[in-house]
Amino acid sequence: MEVSSQKFNDHVHQAVDDANLKGAMGKLTGALRPNRARAVAGLPEFDDYRDHGIAIKMHTLDHIDRYLEEFETNVVANGGHVHWCADEDSARETILGLCRQYDVKTVTKGKSMVTEELGLNAFLDQHGILPLETDLGEYIIQLRGESPSHIIAPATHLQRHDIAQTFRDAHDHLDPNRPMDTAESLTEEARQELREKYGAADAGITGANFMIAETGSTIIVTNEGNGDLTQTLAKTHIVVASMEKILPTMDDAGVMLRLLARSATGQDMSVYTTLSSGPRRPGDLDGPDSFHVVIVDNGRSTMLAGSEREMLRCLRCSACLNHCPVYASIGGHAYGWVYSGPMGKVLTPSLVGLEQTKDLPNASTFCGKCQEVCPMRIPLPKLMRNLRAKQTEQKITPLKQRVLLALWSSLASRPRFYRFVTGMMTGALARMAGPKRVFTWLPFLGNWVQSRDFVAPEGGSFFDRYRASSSPSSSKGEAHD
Amino acid sequence: MSSSARSSRKKPKVGLFVTCLIDAMRPSAGMAALTLLEAAGCEVIVPESQSCCGQPAWNSGDKAAARAVAIPYLDSFDDCDYVVVPSGSCAGMLAHHLVELFEDAPDLRHRQQALAIAAKSHELTSFLVDVLGVTSVPGQIKGRVAYHDSCSSLREMKVKDQPRQLLKAAGAQVVDLDQADTCCGFGGTFSVKYGDISGAMVDGKAQDVEAQHPDLLVAGDMGCLMNIAGRLSRRGSPIAVRHVAEVLAGEMTAPPIGAGSINSDTNGSDKK
Ligand code: SF4
């Protein structure tokens, strides 16, 4: 997918004035946050699961080569195939090659963020293969020609009336006056539309929440069951997964699944947890004729060796997005690539480079809420700070900012002189403010005063007052005891 | 000093880290912190060698600049038992980030000094309650008081109940915000670099404050206070804003933050 993170500030400017988006983002505070809180409170050992989960992930990352090889061995033993792809080009070509090999004209797709990374839908389309998204949210944004605005709920930026309008436009064979005012009616309509297409598809492409080394299985979780149909009805099942989705054992997946659903939607378990362990065997009631796993690196091995390694623990649960006040203010599209919210601010620069993504790690107050709710306790603010440090080192930080910071630091490293200068400035401001004691406009602070007043300094400095109060003529003693 | 030193031998010796924002913007809050510490029986020194904790540079990813700002105060608290900061965010810098800032510093002494400061740094209200066991304060206040949790106070310094307990001890009816643990959008340089986002966030916070109809909004961090007071002022809200230390110390002669002198008697204590 093309990166537009360079235009972050333009995106933001539009997003903060978008009343419809603001309404749509209400579901974060209205549902997602309280739901997670309730689910976590309902499992007193949640934090123990977190520690366990982190230990599993760290161990797995330390031995990722070994577990990936074990996974391949077991996939092959089950009758499947594994394809290793270093970058997005090779992943796209591999998938296209498989489609050609099986004479695929239509694919159904389960929701998969890594295929968004690859821009797979557009690529397949260009090559005459029709991709049909089956996840409700993905289906909606595919109809609208948009990209996902959230890693598990791709249509989070929309309200119900937007979706109804999208369906009225797209499903023009249906009665234009049908009622579409409930979530159920929308879901049911999408389901009817989609069901017909499952049978027609030649291949099903899904992502994977986990790949299990010991069994050679892949696991996806959904709430709609679309993943099941995608992979069992088509003749060929292609799983596309980024390499860090590997876990050693099925027990490990058990730990992660407990964390994932609670962190994501506040459910104890997702409605469907679907395992795929190779093609249909003799006697199986269903399943694909062939089973392929495309393992995508696309920058992960570099991360593994670098300072963003901890980001590879990510389960893609979306808790950090749901709880992020910046995400809630601007929505997911502003981030300009597949991943959004705090995890996107770390992952996107790590995967596509620092140059195009300058603003992402900077647009954070470091409030720390993301780290607090992350089931993998990924230190997202620290990782963003690391990226800022890299920007400074590589002189990607804008010159103006570097100069201002250098001036400020040379001043602040001489405390007495610093206070002399700030004292003059605040003294002048305090006098200028007059009785109102706020400024509605100030030069250099345009971005501040556009939305709030700048409060005037009280007048004088602390150190002036302190010195006056502790001078011999004052009643207080020097030691202030 | 020698005579008072003898009598104060058992007194904990506290170095007050004033913070650059309080020094420049709100001296009353610093003086109030001093009052509170002395009322709690501490001997307080305020080293002149401090300007800023270095956080703006640290959070901008400029380690060299952050070190340059921190080095002057690194040895200023050597003979203090504690370093107390009337700001959760600057306390977080001292207690949690200073060590990382100096972990590979060429001068070994700087590493050791950073470790020493980190180990004895506390946010003001948590120092009073958790370390000194303070249960009563000089200040008295009536009316509805909303306490805003700064993110660093809440998450890095584990400050939540302490200021509320002290406000209650002063007589306040403490009201909680609906989205109490959501950031106000200040974030230091974030507030000017990303004015659109920051503005949207602080508007949410201001509405959350207004919904509780407090007489007074207090917090322990000047950054949040300037941000929220600025937005409340822009919205024409009558809610007064102060640093929590001013209320607890009973030093409320200065007009509330951002309030015109017309309202200088609006100290939140007698409003209905
Ligand atoms: S960073 Fe953490 S909270 Fe965010 S999606 Fe990944 S696992 Fe979930």
Residue of A218, A180, A173, A175 whose CA lies nearest to A196 = A173
Inside any domain, residue A336: no
- Token pair, residue A116, equals 């968004």
Which of A50, A374, A384 best tests ligand 1's pocket when mutated (most atoms within 8 Å of CB)?
Answer: A374
For chain A, how many structural domains are there in total? Answer: 2
Interface of B with A in 12-51 (CB under 8 A): 18, 20, 22-28, 30-31, 34, 38, 42-46, 48-51
The answer to whether residue A195 scores a pLDDT higher than 70 is: yes
Inside any domain, residue A344: no
With beta carbons under 8 A apart, name residues in chain B contacting A358: none
With beta carbons under 8 A apart, name residues in chain A contacting B31: 462, 465-466, 469
Interface of A with B in 204-233 (CB under 8 A): none
A22-61 in b/e form (b: 16+ CB < 10 A) is bebbeebbeebbebbeebbeeeeebeebbebbbebbeebb
The answer to whether residue B266 scores a pLDDT higher than 50 is: no
User: Distance (Å, rounded) from C-alpha A235 to C-alpha A191?
Assistant: 21
Q: What is the CATH number of the domain that holds A199?
A: 3.40.50.10420
The answer to whether residue A309 scores a pLDDT higher than 50 is: yes
Fold of the domain spanning B3-128: Rossmann fold (3.40.50)
- Residue A165 to residues A24, A132, A138, B148, B240, Cα–Cα distance (Å): 15, 20, 16, 41, 46
CA A21 to chain centroid? 18
| Confidence grade of residue A285 (pLDDT, cut at 50, 70, 90) | confident
Work out which ligand 1 atom sits closest to the CA atom of A313. Answer: 7
B228-267 in b/e form (b: 16+ CB < 10 A) is bbbbbbbeebebbbbbbbbbbbbbbebbbbbbbeeebebb
* pLDDT tens-digit readout, A70-112: 999 999 999 999 999 999 999 999 999 999 999 999 999 988 9
Q: Do A426 and B196 count as a contact with CB atoms less than 8 A apart?
A: no
Q: Do A465 and B31 count as a contact with CB atoms less than 8 A apart?
A: yes
Q: Do A481 and B11 count as a contact with CB atoms less than 8 A apart?
A: yes
Can you give the pLDDT at residue B87? 98
Amino acid at A365: T
Q: Do B234 and A465 count as a contact with CB atoms less than 8 A apart?
A: no
With beta carbons under 8 A apart, name residues in chain B contacting A397: 60-61
- What is the DSSP annotation of A75-129? HHHTT-EEEEESSHHHHHHHHHHHHHHTT-SEEEE---HHHHHHTHHHHHHHTT-
Interface of A with B in 232-261 (CB under 8 A): none
Boundary (domain end) residue, out of A273, A302, A331: A302
| Confidence grade of residue A472 (pLDDT, cut at 50, 70, 90) | low
| Confidence grade of residue A435 (pLDDT, cut at 50, 70, 90) | confident
Structural domain of residue A158, as residue ranges? 43-302
The DSSP call for residue B162 is: H
Name the CATH architecture for the domain at B135-249: 3-Layer(aba) Sandwich (3.40)
Boundary (domain end) residue, out of A241, A273, A302: A302
Q: Best interface-test mutation with A: which of B13, B17, B23 has the largest number of A CBs within 10 A?
A: B23
Whether A235 and A109 map to the same domain: the answer is yes
The answer to whether residue A225 scores a pLDDT higher than 80 is: no
Size of interface A-B (CB pairs under 8 A): 248
Inside any domain, residue A191: yes
- Token pair, residue B109, equals 């002494």
Residue nearest to atom 4 of ligand 1 (CA): A320
| Confidence grade of residue A473 (pLDDT, cut at 50, 70, 90) | low
- Token pair, residue A462, equals 């602390």
Inside any domain, residue A66: yes
Inside any domain, residue A370: no
Whether A191 and A48 map to the same domain: the answer is yes
Whether A108 and A228 map to the same domain: the answer is yes
Inside any domain, residue A73: yes
User: Distance (Å, rounded) from C-alpha A183 to C-alpha A454?
Assistant: 44
Mean pLDDT of chain A: 93
Q: What percent of chain A has pLDDT over 70?
A: 98
Q: Do B46 and A480 count as a contact with CB atoms less than 8 A apart?
A: yes
Can you give the pLDDT at residue B260? 56
Boundary (domain end) residue, out of A242, A276, A302: A302
User: Distance (Å, rounded) from C-alpha B177 to C-alpha A446?
Assistant: 29
Are A207 and A110 in contact by the 8 Å Cβ rule? The answer is yes
pTM over 0.90: yes
Can you give the pLDDT at residue A37? 97
- Give strand ranges (E) for B58-109: 82-85
Residues of chain B with CATH 3.40.50: 3-128, 135-249
Amino acid at B123: E
Inside any domain, residue A292: yes
Q: Is the dihedral of CA B68, B69, B70, B73 positive or negative?
A: positive
